[in-house]
Amino acid sequence: MSSTIKKIGVLTSGGDSPGMNAAIRAVVRACAYYKVECVGIYRGYQGMIEGDFKPMGPRDVKNIINKGGTILKTARSKDFMTPEGRKKAHDNLKESGVDSLVVIGGDGSFTGAEIFNEEFGFSVIGIPGTIDNDIFGTSHTLGYDTALNTVVEAIDKIRDTANSHNRLFFVEVMGRDAGHIALNAGIGAGAEEILIPEEDFGLERLLESLKKSKESGKASSIVVVSEGDKIGKNVFELKDYVEENMPEYDVRVSVLGHMQRGGAPSCFDRVLASRLGVKAVESLLEGKSNFMVGILQDKIALTPLEQAIKGQSEIDMELVKVSDIVSS
């Protein structure tokens, strides 16, 4: 594989997600396979500005494929949002001989990579790492599958106590702008109702659904709520509304929070990370830049970073219909 690329930098940016370490490992080992130097950049773009670099070889990434989080750490960088900060980052890369970047993160990280490419003509490839699965151009982002399994396991445990006490539980899951986690985990855990930002069901429909559940003989119910749902200001307001209108329900709230981001990545996420990491390095060596590597219909696909950032990750309406049918 002929290329002018000599040294590839890899960084993780934005929120962490299970599978990031597996992707770092794949990038480092693909570089070694193709006889290209690799540099780990710590703390994302902030580390780029501060020159926090470390040469990495195959042995530096041993025993990390099973670990959550990111060994390269991550940070949000206000300095990188300024031309001066980006200039300093570019100077540090050039001084270290780094001539291309693999950026593992979400749309904010990709926006930074795209601007960096525009300003300096620097070769960049993105790998989508976010549990929200809200990136256009890939059916799965790194960490999404693991987060789903974590949420389903948590809801299974909550249902045990809901059944024991005849309670209604609102379970809030992550997904500020996208309901993928709520919809898929809700179906997987057998939730009675699922509230997502893409579908404004309204408070009245929620009450109707809960009343039907009660009338059908269900003594307890689980309602999965995406944190970006628009029905109430927050999940606690939903709880108050239901208690006022259905006093027969003993209502509880469980916010799963950051536990969804942690833990060992699933086999699916480990394999996906390995495939995307290798493809990212190969794409750079083939002279490609300003793309995101993703997976579509189980094939690795390249999407221009601009499309990945601006495109909408659509919710599967067939799954919404399935949810309505199986929750009755």
pLDDT tens, 214-236? 777 666 689 999 987 666 668 88
Q: How many CA atoms lie within 13 A of 206 on its CB side?
A: 27
Is 132 an active-site residue?
yes
How far apart, in whole angstroms, are the C-alpha atoms of residue 194 and residue 206?
9
Identify the pLDDT of residue 200. 72
DSSP 266: P
Predicted TM-score (pTM) above 0.85: yes
Identify the pLDDT of residue 185. 96
Query: Which one, of 67, 102, 23, 104, lies nearest residue 271 by Cα?
Result: 23
Strand 53-55 to strand 250-255: parallel, antiparallel, or no bridges (unpaired)?
Answer: unpaired
How far apart, in whole angstroms, are the C-alpha atoms of residue 6 and residue 123?
12
Q: Which residues are annotated as a binding site for ADP?
A: 25-29, 159, 190-192, 218-220
Identify the pLDDT of residue 320. 87
Identify the pLDDT of residue 230. 64
Strands (E) across the chain are located at: 7-12, 37-41, 53-55, 100-105, 123-128, 167-173, 193-195, 221-226, 250-255, 291-296, 299-304
Catalytic one of 79, 91, 99, 132? 132
CA distances from 316 to 125, 191, 266, 327, 328 (A): 27, 17, 22, 17, 19
Identify the pLDDT of residue 215. 72
Q: Which residues are annotated as a binding site for substrate?
A: 130-132, 167, 174-176, 227, 252, 258-261
CA distances from 318 to 144, 184, 301, 311, 325 (A): 19, 11, 24, 20, 11
Identify the pLDDT of residue 269. 98
pLDDT per position in the chain (328 positions), as tens? 546 899 999 999 999 999 999 999 999 999 999 999 999 999 999 999 999 999 999 999 999 999 999 999 999 899 999 999 999 999 999 999 999 999 999 999 999 999 999 999 999 999 999 999 999 999 999 999 999 999 999 999 999 888 888 788 999 999 878 899 999 999 999 998 898 888 776 777 788 888 777 777 666 689 999 987 666 668 888 888 888 888 888 889 999 999 999 999 999 999 999 999 999 999 999 999 999 999 999 999 999 999 999 998 888 889 888 988 887 6
Determine the Cα angle at 324 with ends 326 and 227, to 5°: 110
Write out the two tokens for 321: 């219909």
Task: Find out whether 158 and 322 touch, Cβ atoms under 8 Å.
Answer: no
Q: Which residues are annotated as a binding site?
A: 15, 25-29, 76-77, 106-109, 130-132, 159, 167, 174-176, 190-192, 218-220, 227, 252, 258-261
Query: Which one, of 55, 321, 69, lies nearest residue 183 by Cα?
Result: 321
pLDDT tens, 140-176? 999 999 999 999 999 999 998 888 887 889 999 998 7
Task: Find out whether 200 and 230 touch, Cβ atoms under 8 Å.
Answer: yes
